[in-house]
A = this chain, B = another copy of it.
Amino acid sequence: MGVSLGELAVRFGCELRGDPETQVDRVDTLANADSRSLAFVANPRYRQQLASTKAGAVVLDAASAADCATAALVCGNPHATYARIAAVLHPPPPAPAGVHSTAVIAAGARIDPSAHVGALSVIGEGAVVGPRVFVGPQCLVDEGAMLAEDVRLTARVTICRRVQVGARTIVQPGAVIGGDGFGFAPEGGRWIKVPQTGTVRVGPDVEIGANTTIDRGAIEDTVIEEGVKLDNLIMIAHNVRVGAHSALAACVGVSGSTTIGRRCMIGGQVGIGGHLAIGDDVIITGCTMVSHSIPRPGVYSGGIPLEEAHVWRRLVARFKRIDSLATRLKALERHTLGGPDQEEDDD
């Protein structure tokens, strides 16, 4: 499906340097692109490849345009503009409106005629599937769940009872939204299950990665606000709230009743304790343990980079004796300098 550079320039507000009649069919990297491919440069690191690229055109910013050996679509945010053009050149495969003959639809489900329900999916009693929704194969939309317009469940997604999913939200395979929260009351050395009577409300324009799980609330709801992006294998516990436009990388775990602010960025494998409040615009680098609230915006870290094992073992051994190190230093200070302690609160 060819699109002319002239059309792309007009549609996405770019300045075109090159022939507006040139057609591109697909996207590719600078290194691999041919004359029918569109490439982009967002990172200056790749700018050097502009001199030799065979791409039909390159999306880039004004600073890079002079280096470009081929046609250029010049814009302020090349990555975002590239993303929009790529969506035009590589649309999801067409999905005919209607319900596959092997899908199992409860009598009381309401499915918009423009929606697609794929093979072997199950739509439960009272569930609502909105206009132009795509329910891929083998999904479950359980009783009373609601999918707003243009939601996309790619395949094998589980939407549990009464869960609400906002418009245009995309869910990758294997995700489970609305499993029971981990709520148990201790009694005599055993655990009594606490019914999880809340649900999950997912806002519009959210993306939820493969095999990520979002638990339903204990009484009130778990909430994922608009524009949130969750990578794969993330755990969102019951009654968590993730603020609008925050992005969480893979393998993050967020414990129960914690709130995360707006526009936060959380690195991979970060673990966040329960009942904490993370404010807006907080950035947490990967592998960090978060055990207290973070009221102020900023960048936070807690991971220690690796070493060769024999070096690391020595560091750990020293660390395990750091108390003795501090005590010995204080004794030496006292001996050498005399008088009271140098650091009164030291132990």
Q: Residues of A within 8 Å of B, CB-based: how many? A: 130
Per-position 1/0 for A67-111, Cβ under 8 A of B: 000000000010110111011001001000000101010000000
Closest B residue to A292 using CB positions: B305
In the complex, what residues of B have CB within 8 A of residue A215's CB? 210, 232
Pairwise interchain contact A27-B219, C-beta atoms closer than 8 A: yes
A104-B80 contact given A90-B197, A189-B263, A286-B289, CB 8 Å threshold? no
Which one of A2-10, A13-21, A127-135, A336-344 is at the B interface? Answer: A336-344
Choose among B186, B263, B268, B300 the residue that contacts A309 (Cβ–Cβ < 8 A). B300
Q: Hey, which bits of chain A sit against chain B, CB under 8 A?
A: 26-29, 32, 42, 77, 79-80, 82-84, 86-87, 90, 93, 100, 102, 104, 118-120, 122, 137-138, 140, 142-143, 154-156, 158, 160-161, 170, 172-174, 176, 179-180, 182-187, 189-195, 197, 205, 207, 209-211, 213, 215, 219-220, 227, 229, 231-233, 235, 237, 245, 247, 249-251, 253, 255, 263, 268-269, 271, 273, 284-292, 294, 298-310, 312-316, 318-326, 328-329, 332-333, 335-337, 342-343, 346
15 sampled A-B residue pairs with Cβ under 8 A: A26-B197, A80-B187, A93-B161, A154-B160, A156-B158, A182-B231, A182-B232, A251-B271, A287-B289, A299-B308, A300-B306, A302-B305, A318-B323, A319-B319, A319-B322
